[in-house]
Structure 1
Amino acid sequence: MKFSANKLYIEKYVKCANCGVLIYGPSIAARDGSGDVFCSDWCVDWKAARAASDAEPRLPLPREAREPSLQGRDMVAMKILEGNLVSICRDMGITLMKTAYSTIFSESLDFTCGLFAANGDMIAVGEFCPSMISGMPMIIKTVIQEIEPGEMEEGDILLHNDPYRGGMHTPEHLFFKPIFFEGELVGFSGAIGHVAEIGGVAPGSFYAEARDIFAEGLRVPPVKIKRRGEDNIDVWKILLANVRTPRTNHGDYRALIAAVDLGERRTIELLQKYGKEHFTQITSSLMDYAEERMRAEISDIPDGHYSFQDFMEDDGLVDQELRIHVDLFVQGDEIVADFSKSSPQAKGPINTPLSIPTAATQNAILQLTDGSIPKNSGCFRPIKIIAPPGSLLNVNYPAPEVGGNTECHPRIAYTVLGALATCLPGRVPAADGSTWSNFLFGGTDPRTGEYYCCYDVHIVGWGGSASGDGNSAVGSINGNCPMVPIEVYETRFPWIVEEYSLVPDSGGAGQFRGGLGVRKVVRCDADEITFSHMGDRHKRGSWGLNDGEEGQPGSFLFEEAGTQGWKPVTQVFNKVSSSKFANLTAHRGDRIQITTPGGGGYGLPSDRETASTAEDFSEGFVSRP
């Protein structure tokens, strides 16, 4: 990274030409004189090996030098401490949920809480939003390159949402608090969540037609929102002056702070119980144990080179598909996921920073491995992600990226799963709906006179698998986010929900059919509401597996008050994309219909049991027996 002479801004984001990570320290120059730089000799060798032999580069992953963990581990003590740490993370999440103001936190639980070692390694995490699990350690490791531990003090709380500095997408805000014990920095308590409104061009800050990062909302570099336990008032004023809903944002920020305060307090109690040295040894041992468990799982996957690809339908600005391609190399007890053949970065905001393919790849592998493996940085050590700079999956400044987290993450995860399907028969499901059909809206509430914003997520059908039909009406693979209950929805916002139902025939046919998507119809109950949408899978259905059929695509339709007949926004408002658009206006009586995709089918439809088909018909899941 090249900072200005006064250290106040970044002049150039320096990334490894192979894996795409940010380089803060010394770099390695390319041997061919191209001017490229690399983070390690391993990356130089890997790129050269791919160029020389696209099929089979075989190289060991670089292993970090670490202090040896406990010899002859005390498994009982290790599991007890792990349980305590995970329980703290869960309590942090419950605190956040119960004290937040916005529905994306209080109802949809779009956040994750974790605890970290002093070097940024994650030692424990709560089971909230999977897309954020790998994002948190990447952000913290980036921040401590810029704010050295010596500059942190007891009572500080730091805030960060910059996608170009290890972050995820712009709405994802990480609050983290250094944990001091006996005057020494021993770790961090962190809570990351999707803040529903951060300014920018569109209410809800999901500007689906953005051409650069500046349209997406306020981008915050690593700053101290609290210093030595006291509010940094100037930072608070800047944050709240740049959003449409300052009261709600203030409440959500306080909820995130309450979560990290709780994490710090409970961790110090454990340090007092175990002692710093013993606590550190056990957590280090726990990460080594997770690594060994994951390596054992990977060792059971046949060595080889496995490939798969899928396509995003457009970027909101250009009606052109974008490729997500993975070459997966399984080498003994290690995996390299190379996304070099994916599309170049897009003009519209469907790009991702490096944290997204990292999190999505790790998410996919967690889906196929033993669920009892501790979720910490250790279990991810055998997995390496390659996403070159300037690609769809590693966006360069200042290109837009707000849609990449919600929409690309599930597609990346299922691309990795699709690659593994050939070598792990019977273990990989067909694809789920792989979108959150993000519905953003805002306006002045006629009942209160206060400006409101909402980030409204939608659930999909999951793919069928060798063990049975896919589940219906479940969040996609990258989030455990429920929909906002109708009673809360109508109380908080001026919409009337006329329909909320499963969509018959939306699951792909198969021996085990895909789960059903959902349909929601809302009627505008205000003089004017500004709305936007960021989604995908309106053209391509979720792919089936082992001769299973595709699931039914989703849609977003509009009906003007006093008329009859649903129409896509491409027709009504002359938009490029039916799934990605921004700042349209609904008036009183106008109706909106959001339909989410069903999951793909698994196995030949002709192999489905007759009784199962009859039951589907009687339940209304299919329209004909």
Structure 2
Amino acid sequence: MTDGPGMDAVELEVVRHALAGVAEEMGAALRRAAYSPNIKERVDCSAAVFDPDGRMVAQAEHIPVHLGSMPASVAAALDAFGPLAPGDQVALNDPYRGGTHLPDLTVVAAVGDDTDAAGGHLLGYVANRAHHADVGGAAPGSMPADAVDVAMEGVRVPPVRIGDAAGMRDDVLELIAANSRTPAERRGDLRAQLAANHVGARRLRELAAARGSRGLARAMAEVRAYSDRRVRAAVREIPDGTYTFTDVLEVDAPPLTRTSESRAAPEGEAGTSESRAAPEGEAGTSESGEGEVGPGEVPIRVEVTVAGDRVTADFAGSALQVAAPINAVRAVTLSSAYFVFRMLTDPDAPPNDGCYDALEVRTPAGSVVDAAFPAPVAAGNVETSQRIVDVLLGAFAQAVADGVPAASQGTMNNLLLGAASPGFSYYETLGGGEGGTPFRAGMHGVHTGMTNTKNTPAEAMELAYPLRVRCYELRQGSGGVGAHPGGEGLVREVEVTTDATLTLQTERRARGPWGLAGGDDGAPGRNTIVRADGSEEQLPAKGTWTLHAGDRVRVETPGAGGWGPA
């Protein structure tokens, strides 16, 4: 079947699953070939397929914050080099040029129809993103809690060719590896990323061989249009109106002035629209009555407008970017909005950029939801993304009260341990409670929102690192009471067997996740250092500390909000 006149329902299903299968196989290849437990065990990586214009046409069921922001990486690669030649591979992590935060390295590859040699007909692009456990910076793991600019967070890689038809560029690989405390891992993980793209390219060429290159291009367009139709139909079921909500991040930091290095999004970028920054004193107001702002808190505010088959999410009123690593670049905010939009419209529609044609996202430039150089951004990707999800759900709950869950744990509970000598870097995000839903109770001890990784098994962790897992259990009684209770959090206690640096990037330590429709809030999380002599030190939500052999860190993750009165 090649260049037929149209596509019936059966053919459409075959094509959409074939394209998704390319991305899924890329992810499997990356996990098998990677060196670090963070990718092999936790599966902190994602893959997707793009058409020749750089529009996403399929993704694997991997990490939401990766996948929603990956189109910005492909766009940045094309901005830097123009259409890539088949066989070219471009690496980048620069948050202000298509990246999210520095540990996430993305590799984009151009795919030709018959050969990887330059000059082949361009079929599209494949790309994958992996979280590297260390890319330099002021603390092991490259997410120092005291960072006041992005230079403290590690090596910043603008779009750069890391491979072409002749093979890998070892000079680029060595530059990245040399800036890490664990260079052997970086070499292995980057080679695995390039290999995964080779797998994706081979499978995409097989699809082109079966359908013809024009047939494949038409199939990609049909799948995107199909997703758009399905999502718009679902949007029309949401009552028209304007809905606002505010929630906060737990950090006490002064505003950070943007510089001339920041650039506006390219004209015509999907969802691009600058909105005003909030006048002093306005941020934190909410017509819903939720989320009043207190001292040591940074507000995120959204106004959602539903009109027919269109939705606008305007983040005017959110705080200006701050001198702390909670700033999210625009790609992260878009990714969070995409996640909620799919969740509340048609989550079974094929995931591609057609799902988001009905959504416009407006962000104030130089704010915590649209950060500009030199703002530090490490936790913006992992923590602020979660809060953006919460404020969007809080707004939509006013429109479709019986279709929105209570707040889940609202954090990834980032735990980082490492040292330069002996060189190691352990990174983990910990599960917690899932919010009670209108249909069932929330699940216990799971990853929610913008994360979708596994845990690191205790056996793998103790084999790879100078660490011992002393406790790993559910945190009983942490879920909010309700007709459908919130899920329970976790307790994870880890002992270091050598001197090490600890960094925590967490949220929901002062306020628990909110309940909905009369349900109770979940219990806030708690962080503790247990010294070798048995003394305990209660820790704030974020920080970097020195541990000595025998010391332990205990992380108790938040329970989730309950839904409906008990």
**TM-score (normalizing by structure 1):** 0.81
Aligned to 1:157: 89
2:110 pairs with 1:178: yes
Q: Deviations over 1:583-609 (max 9, x none)?
A: x2211221211110000011112xxxx
* Aligned pair partner of 1:531 in 502, 508, 511: 502
Structure 2: distance between partners of 1:107 and 1:334: 40
* Aligned pair partner of 1:479 in 448, 451, 463: 451
Structure 1: distance between partners of 2:4 and 2:330: 33
* Aligned pair partner of 2:31 in 92, 97, 102: 97
2:559 pairs with 1:598: yes
2:329 pairs with 1:357: no
Question: Letter of the aligned partner of 2:195 in structure 1?
Answer: A
Name the SS for the 1:403 alignment partner. helix
Q: Deviations over 1:70-98 (max 9, x none)?
A: 97532222211111111111111111111
Shift of 1:369: 2.5
Structure 2: distance between partners of 1:444 and 1:198: 12
Aligned to 2:178: 241
Question: Letter of the aligned partner of 1:155 in structure 2?
Answer: G
Name the SS for the 1:384 alignment partner. strand
Structure 1: distance between partners of 2:462 and 2:447: 21
Residues 177 and 189, structure 1, Cα contact 8 Å, conserved in 2: yes
Aligned to 2:390: 414
Residues 70 and 282, structure 1, Cα contact 8 Å, conserved in 2: no
Segment of structure 1 superposing worse, 435-444 or 91-100: 435-444
Name the SS for the 1:163 alignment partner. coil
Shift of 1:379: 0.9
Aligned to 1:549: 520
Aligned to 1:588: 549
Aligned to 2:541: 579
Structure 2: distance between partners of 1:170 and 1:204: 10
Shift of 1:143: 2.2
Aligned to 1:188: 125
Q: Deviations over 1:456-509 (max 9, x none)?
A: 111110111111211000012111111111111111112221111111111011
* Aligned pair partner of 2:357 in 381, 396, 399: 381
Structure 2: distance between partners of 1:432 and 1:317: 28
When residues 330 and 71 of structure 1 are mapped into structure 2, their CA distance, relative to the original with a 3 A threshold, is farther
When residues 444 and 136 of structure 1 are mapped into structure 2, their CA distance, relative to the original with a 3 A threshold, is closer
Question: Letter of the aligned partner of 1:484 in structure 2?
Answer: T
Residues 513 and 602, structure 1, Cα contact 8 Å, conserved in 2: yes
Structure 1: distance between partners of 2:428 and 2:493: 13
Question: Letter of the aligned partner of 2:105 in structure 1?
Answer: H
* Aligned pair partner of 1:167 in 85, 99, 104: 99
Structure 1: distance between partners of 2:230 and 2:374: 40
Aligned to 2:467: 495
Shift of 1:238: 1.1
Aligned to 1:13: none
When residues 71 and 413 of structure 1 are mapped into structure 2, their CA distance, relative to the original with a 3 A threshold, is farther
Which consecutive residues of structure 1, in runs of 5 or more, have no partner in the other structure?
1-68, 570-577, 606-625
Shift of 1:119: 1.1
Q: Deviation above 3 Å: which 4+ runs of structure 1?
A: 69-73, 315-319
Aligned to 1:200: 137
Name the SS for the 2:96 alignment partner. helix
Shift of 1:171: 1.3
Structure 2: distance between partners of 1:234 and 1:587: 37
Q: Deviations over 1:394-439 (max 9, x none)?
A: 0111111110011011111121111111111211000011111111
Question: Letter of the aligned partner of 1:598 in structure 2?
Answer: G
Question: 1:77-116 alignment to 2 at 5 Å?
Answer: 77-116=11-50
Structure 1: distance between partners of 2:174 and 2:493: 38
Name the SS for the 2:415 alignment partner. strand
Residues 311 and 321, structure 1, Cα contact 8 Å, conserved in 2: yes
* Aligned pair partner of 1:568 in 538, 550, 560: 538
Aligned to 2:77: 143
Shift of 1:284: 0.4
Name the count of aligned residue pairs.
Answer: 520
Question: Letter of the aligned partner of 1:159 in structure 2?
Answer: A
Which consecutive residues of structure 2, in runs of 5 or more, have no partner in the other structure?
115-119, 256-294
Name the SS for the 1:487 alignment partner. helix
Shift of 1:304: 0.6
Q: Which structure has the greater CA radius of gyration?
A: 1
Question: Letter of the aligned partner of 1:408 in structure 2?
Answer: T
Aligned to 2:426: 454
Name the SS for the 1:169 alignment partner. coil
Residues 541 and 553, structure 1, Cα contact 8 Å, conserved in 2: yes
| Percent identity of equivalent pairs | 34
Residues 123 and 287, structure 1, Cα contact 8 Å, conserved in 2: yes
Q: Deviations over 1:336-369 (max 9, x none)?
A: 1000111111110100000111010110121123
Structure 2: distance between partners of 1:424 and 1:567: 43
Question: Letter of the aligned partner of 2:308 in structure 1?
Answer: G
Structure 2: distance between partners of 1:514 and 1:505: 10
Q: Root-mean-square deviation (CA), in Å?
A: 1.6
Structure 2: distance between partners of 1:493 and 1:87: 34
Structure 1: distance between partners of 2:233 and 2:522: 35
Residues 162 and 170, structure 1, Cα contact 8 Å, conserved in 2: yes
Question: Letter of the aligned partner of 1:384 in structure 2?
Answer: E
Name the SS for the 2:402 alignment partner. coil
Residues 431 and 445, structure 2, Cα contact 8 Å, conserved in 1: yes
Name the SS for the 2:401 alignment partner. coil
2:344 pairs with 1:368: yes
Name the SS for the 2:470 alignment partner. strand
Structure 2: distance between partners of 1:589 and 1:258: 40
Name the SS for the 1:134 alignment partner. helix
Aligned to 2:249: 312
Q: Deviations over 1:247-305 (max 9, x none)?
A: 01111111111111100010001101110111111110110111011110101101110
Residues 77 and 90, structure 2, Cα contact 8 Å, conserved in 1: no
Residues 22 and 203, structure 2, Cα contact 8 Å, conserved in 1: yes
* Aligned pair partner of 1:227 in 143, 164, 171: 164
Structure 1: distance between partners of 2:513 and 2:344: 19
Structure 2: distance between partners of 1:463 and 1:568: 26
Residues 316 and 580, structure 1, Cα contact 8 Å, conserved in 2: no
Residues 363 and 369, structure 2, Cα contact 8 Å, conserved in 1: yes
Structure 1: distance between partners of 2:61 and 2:30: 14
Question: Letter of the aligned partner of 2:554 in structure 1?
Answer: Q
* Aligned pair partner of 1:334 in 310, 331, 337: 310
When residues 387 and 83 of structure 1 are mapped into structure 2, their CA distance, relative to the original with a 3 A threshold, is same
Segment of structure 1 superposing worse, 72-81 or 84-93: 72-81
Aligned to 1:468: 440
Shift of 1:107: 1.2
